[in-house]
């Protein structure tokens, strides 16, 4: 008797109507997607600072949060310090979500045990003074850092705490106003990062197939490239749009940070800037839920007409279609957005069942780098990227470059891609500088590069 389920590998039976033979492979690989303490991926993520709440979400009551699979509670005590504690009281487990905030720390509602923001037990009022609980135990606590309206947590081993990385994009251009936001998605965090590693979806999801969400410029199919940077790599697309070359490069920084230009560029005049529109982290709530959280940079470059206001950003709110699941279902079907594409890959996308193409190179590169970094942590090594330093802001590389070229000069796709890559990497060569100085130096470099390319292609 023949086994009708055996034979060719799933997805390789190309006979018409062969669904029976092309079942997806089992989704059994959790190496890069697991986030719990003690799992490979979870231990790796616990070596970094992660934003988890907007400062504006923290009022006069404790807030229950779930982060990296752990149930926690966050509060601001009477003296303004922020505590992030294991949610369940170490006495007998009542939730500190119902704790009473004190001038110093928080007091459990059930029997009054009093904890400082670092987990120290300050008081066990029902116990006789001779009992030594206070000096023997403490409530689990994590360090919190507040920056630009975001609360960040470090949940790893105390001795491995990295410096808190500030980024060079918040103070540039000088009129920049960083505005916090947080968007919830019922799927694993890796899918959110992979969406940023996939610039060809900007052409299809955001311009050609689902609707005109980005500018018409994005209908032009680009050359893709993913060159390495000191913090990760660039996820970049280079297009010839009329008489201009438009180079759009997003930062992918390990483990979960990304910076993205907006989708409005018409590429109809020359410009060059180190000016992402969004800086965002993809943060794991648990294996099956995440949020992306970060800062929108409202300034004269990203928001020249002032059409976007700080009030347009918040929790589950961003002024771009398709970022939440709260639109009517039929409307989401007619014009799907990132949320609909990314969440429907599955709570944890089945990477074993994929059939990757040449345009998925960025996704593959991210997975390789992520796997390597997880292995490094497993073996007690510090991952090679990102190199974070406490001295000065961490340099980033996301940019948009539009330059005019003579007709036909960069018609060869290889020459176009090569120029795009070199021009985007000019920001790496100038990363000893900051702000306007760096942009000026980069502008000169890009102009020289273009002159070189034109001289070569004219030969
Ligand atoms: S359960 Fe918290 S003090 Fe008893
Ligand atoms: Fe997108």
Tens-digit pLDDT profile for residues 64-120:
999 999 999 999 999 999 999 999 999 999 999 999 999 999 999 999 999 999 999
Closest ligand 1 atom to the C-alpha of 89?
2
- Name the closest-CA residue to atom 4, ligand 1: 111
Report which DSSP code applies to 87: S
For the beta sheet containing 100-101, the strands, ordered from the edge strand earlier in sequence to the opposite edge, are 100-101, 106-107, 114-115, 121-123
Are 399 and 427 spatial neighbours (Cβ–Cβ below 8 Å)?
Answer: yes
CB-based contacts of 65: which residues, under 8 Å, 6+ apart?
52, 53, 72, 73, 74, 84
Distance CA 257, CA 294 (A): 9
Conformational region of residue 306, where left means phi above 0, alpha means psi within -120 to 50, and beta covers everything else: left
Closest ligand 1 atom to the C-alpha of 112?
3
Whether ligand 1 lies within 6 angstroms of the CB of 81 is answered as no
Whether ligand 1 lies within 6 angstroms of the CB of 108 is answered as yes
- Cα–Cα nearest to 228, from 97, 122, 384: 384
pTM: 0.95
Whether ligand 1 lies within 6 angstroms of the CB of 94 is answered as yes
Ligand in closest contact with the CA of 121: 1
Work out the number of other CB atoms within 10 angstroms of the CB of residue 6: 7
Tell me, what's the pLDDT at 97?
A: 98
- Cα–Cα nearest to 84, from 10, 162, 135, 146: 146
Pocket test for ligand 1, best of 108, 114, 137 (most atoms within 8 A of CB): 108
Enumerate domains of the chain plus CATH numbers: 49-160 (2.102.10.10), 177-458 (3.90.380.10)
Distance CA 284, CA 46 (A): 11
Pocket test for ligand 1, best of 94, 102, 105, 131 (most atoms within 8 A of CB): 94
DSSP for 248-291, please give it.
EEEEEETTTEEEE--S-----S-EEE---SEEEEEEEEETTEEE
Whether ligand 1 lies within 6 angstroms of the CB of 89 is answered as yes
Give yes or no for a cis peptide into 386 (omega within 30° of 0). Answer: yes
- Name the closest-CA residue to atom 3, ligand 1: 111
Whether ligand 1 lies within 6 angstroms of the CB of 106 is answered as no
60: CA distance to ligand 2 center in Å?
Answer: 36
Conformational region of residue 333, where left means phi above 0, alpha means psi within -120 to 50, and beta covers everything else: alpha
Query: What would the pLDDT profile of 212-262 be if each residue is shown by its tens digit?
Result: 999 999 999 999 999 999 999 999 999 999 999 999 999 999 999 999 999
Closest ligand 1 atom to the C-alpha of 126?
3
Whether ligand 1 lies within 6 angstroms of the CB of 98 is answered as no
Ligand in closest contact with the CA of 97: 1
- What count of residues does the chain have? 459
DSSP for 182-242, please give it.
EEEESS-HHHHHHHHT-THHHHIIIIISS---S-GGGGSPPEEE--EETTEEEEEEEEEET
Work out the number of other CB atoms within 10 angstroms of the CB of residue 158: 8
427: CA distance to ligand 2 center in Å?
Answer: 24
Ligand in closest contact with the CA of 192: 2
| SS3 assignment, position 441 | helix
Residues of the chain with pLDDT under 50: 1-7
195: CA distance to ligand 2 center in Å?
Answer: 7
Are 270 and 282 spatial neighbours (Cβ–Cβ below 8 Å)?
Answer: no
- Cα–Cα nearest to 283, from 426, 355, 185, 195: 185
Whether ligand 1 lies within 6 angstroms of the CB of 367 is answered as no
Whether ligand 1 lies within 6 angstroms of the CB of 96 is answered as no
Residues with a beta carbon under 5 angstroms from ion ligand 2 = 338
Ligand in closest contact with the CA of 94: 1
CA distances from 100 to 56, 153, 288 (A): 20, 22, 31
37: CA distance to ligand 1 center in Å?
Answer: 25
120: CA distance to ligand 1 center in Å?
Answer: 14
69: CA distance to ligand 2 center in Å?
Answer: 26
Closest ligand 1 atom to the C-alpha of 94?
1
337: CA distance to ligand 2 center in Å?
Answer: 7
- Cα–Cα nearest to 59, from 40, 74, 38, 37: 74
| SS3 assignment, position 65 | strand
- Name the closest-CA residue to atom 1, ligand 1: 92
Report which DSSP code applies to 307: -
Ligand in closest contact with the CA of 336: 2
Closest ligand 1 atom to the C-alpha of 111?
3
């Amino acid at each position: 008797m023949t086994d009708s389920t055996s034979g060719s590998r799933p997805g390789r039976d190309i006979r018409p109507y062969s669904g029976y033979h092309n079942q997806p492979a089992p989704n059994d690989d959790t190496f890069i997607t697991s986030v719990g303490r003690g799992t490979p991926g979870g231990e790796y993520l616990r070596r970094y600072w992660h934003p988890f709440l907007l400062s504006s979400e923290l009022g006069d009551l404790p807030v229950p949060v779930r982060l990296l699979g752990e149930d926690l509670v966050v509060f601001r005590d009477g003296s303004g310090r922020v505590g992030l504690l294991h949610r369940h009281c170490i006495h007998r487990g009542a939730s500190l979500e119902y704790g009473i905030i004190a001038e110093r720390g928080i007091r459990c509602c059930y029997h009054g045990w009093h904890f400082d923001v670092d987990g120290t037990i300050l008081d066990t009022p029902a116990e006789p003074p001779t009992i030594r609980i206070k000096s023997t135990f403490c409530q689990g606590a994590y360090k919190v850092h507040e920056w630009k309206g975001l609360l960040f947590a470090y949940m790893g081993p105390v001795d491995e705490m990295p410096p808190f990385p500030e980024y060079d994009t918040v103070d540039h251009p000088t009129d920049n106003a960083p505005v916090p936001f947080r968007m919830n998605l019922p799927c694993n965090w890796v899918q959110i990062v992979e969406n940023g590693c996939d610039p060809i979806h900007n052409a299809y999801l955001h311009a050609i197939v689902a609707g005109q969400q980005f500018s018409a410029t994005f209908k032009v199919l680009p050359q893709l490239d993913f060159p390495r940077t000191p913090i990760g790599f660039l996820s970049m697309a280079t297009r010839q749009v009329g008489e201009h070359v438009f180079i759009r490069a997003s930062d992918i920084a390990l483990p979960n940070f990304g910076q993205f230009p907006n989708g409005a560029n018409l590429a109809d005049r020359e410009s060059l800037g180190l000016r992402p529109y969004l800086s965002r982290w993809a943060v794991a709530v648990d294996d099956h839920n995440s949020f992306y959280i970060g800062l929108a940079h409202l300034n004269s470059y990203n928001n020249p007409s002032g059409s976007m206001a700080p009030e347009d950003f918040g929790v589950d709110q961003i002024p771009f279609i398709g970022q939440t699941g709260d639109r009517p279902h039929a409307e989401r079907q007619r014009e799907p957005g990132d949320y609909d594409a990314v969440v429907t890959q599955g709570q944890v996308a089945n990477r074993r069942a994929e059939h990757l193409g040449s345009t998925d190179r960025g996704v593959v590169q991210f997975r390789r780098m992520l796997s390597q970094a997880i292995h490094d942590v497993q073996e007690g090594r510090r991952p090679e990227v990102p190199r974070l330093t406490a001295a000065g802001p961490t340099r980033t590389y996301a940019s948009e470059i539009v330059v005019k070229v003579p007709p036909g000069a960069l018609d060869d796709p290889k020459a176009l891609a090569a120029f795009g890559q070199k021009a985007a990497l000019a920001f790496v060569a100038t990363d000893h500088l900051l702000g306007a100085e760096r942009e000026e130096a980069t502008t000169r470099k890009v102009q020289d590069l273009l002159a070189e390319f034109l001289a070569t292609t004219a030969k």
